Chain A
Amino acid sequence: MVELQGVSVVYGETYVLCRVSLRVEPGEFVFLVGTTGAGKSTLLKLLYGAVRPTEGRVFVDGQEVNRLRESEIPFLRRRMGIVPQDYPLLPRKTVWENIAYGLRAIGYSQSAVRRRVAQVLAQVGMSAQANAYPYQLSGGEAQRVAIARALANNPPLLLADEPTANLDPDTSWEIVQLLQQINLRGTTVIVATHNRAIVDRANKRVIALDRGQIISDVPRGGYPAELDKLYPPVALVSERRSGEIAK
């Protein structure tokens, strides 16, 4: 489904990604974890052609993304759903119109749009809020709408960049559950996150990135210990300090 072969992305003198190789099979659910600046978002952008690799090759569904012309990128993106970090919604359009907008932009007929929007709204549990405007939604609801829009074209691959950023733990877990449901229907899901709680709880494949390099790739598990060693969580640091003081 997705393959990176020795991919590097260099901005000026800085390696954002350094000789990264990985493979994601169809139907997998993968967490990309790492601190801010580790290269998670850049890796996702490589997959949908928003960033070109400085070296190496990127394959999605058998197609070499780095060889595509700008005019071919839209057709690649129609085979994937993209949920950006800031889940952009058009403020003057209702939930229904926001999802329909994406479908109409890629040439769906009015009847197909009506049918498909109703389906995806039901899938993400937002049918009741179809006529609400984005400002009337909570963060979790807005994220569900963004996911619904990404799913509207029924893509085999879903890329979500920090889908739980700025959400409380319960809502974050609801979003992860929704992504898992989508995955169970056969969609490959790749989620970039630094949310330790959801990674620990989901028990899925976890690829850890640090300063542009993959430092661990485990088929099932929680937040990688390698990252904990490099960047101890705040709670752990406080615990250690308390212990040292007690001694």
Chain B
Amino acid sequence: MNILVLLKMVPDVVEELEVAGDGKSLDTSFLRTIINERDDHALEQAILLKERHGGKVTVVALDAPDIDDTLFAAMAKGADRAVKITDAPEGMTTQMAAKLCGQVIAGLLPADLILTGVQALDDLDGLSAALVAQQLNFPYIGVVTAVTANGPTATVIKEFAGGVRGEFAVTLPAVLGVQAAEKPPRYVPVAKVRAVMKTNKIETVAAPGEAGAAQIEVRQLAKPVVSSHAEMLEGSPEEAAGKLVELLAQRGLL
């Protein structure tokens, strides 16, 4: 089967994030980017499917610092082809990025599945995959934790709150927002990545058309303010429960 995987880079939170002088964006002077964790799972799920059913995996990503390392690592893990989208406008919203990526993906079709992470730590709105699906007019299922391909359809496990799981049949081609692959993302030895860097090439595609205007504006970016402290309720469980009820009543919550 033919699988496209959409990857993106997000800030690596190993370094403490700082707000830039403009008060609206992240200070990028010490910022490193890393593959979005859910996208790494989407890639793993794609490689698992390729190992099971054969076919090809193509990874697609917007240009970003360190993106080449990520794309070479993806090929070392088992992706056959890597496409980098260059010259995209800076500071795009999720909607703009999805519109751009959707157009590039349309040019890479046909594909049976388009996988990407269900969300990313820099927006958490979980919109990318759904927006790409809408643009391509493909069905979409999000929060996916397992995929089984059965010819023209796929059986997909979707996770709900409270440990509930749903099993869906979806007609291919489809877009899936991956929450977790069936196995944790695999390790790829450094020597293998270095070998792939020598033998494989990353294809580039210039960002097509218009990404459209941003429909939201960031007015302020700030660190959370430490405003209060936790109050420990002392005493036996009954006494503590009594005090808790009293407190909730005082605050008008009961």
Do the two chains bind? no
Which residue numbers of B lie inside 8 Å of A, CB to CB?
none
Which residue numbers of A lie inside 8 Å of B, CB to CB?
none
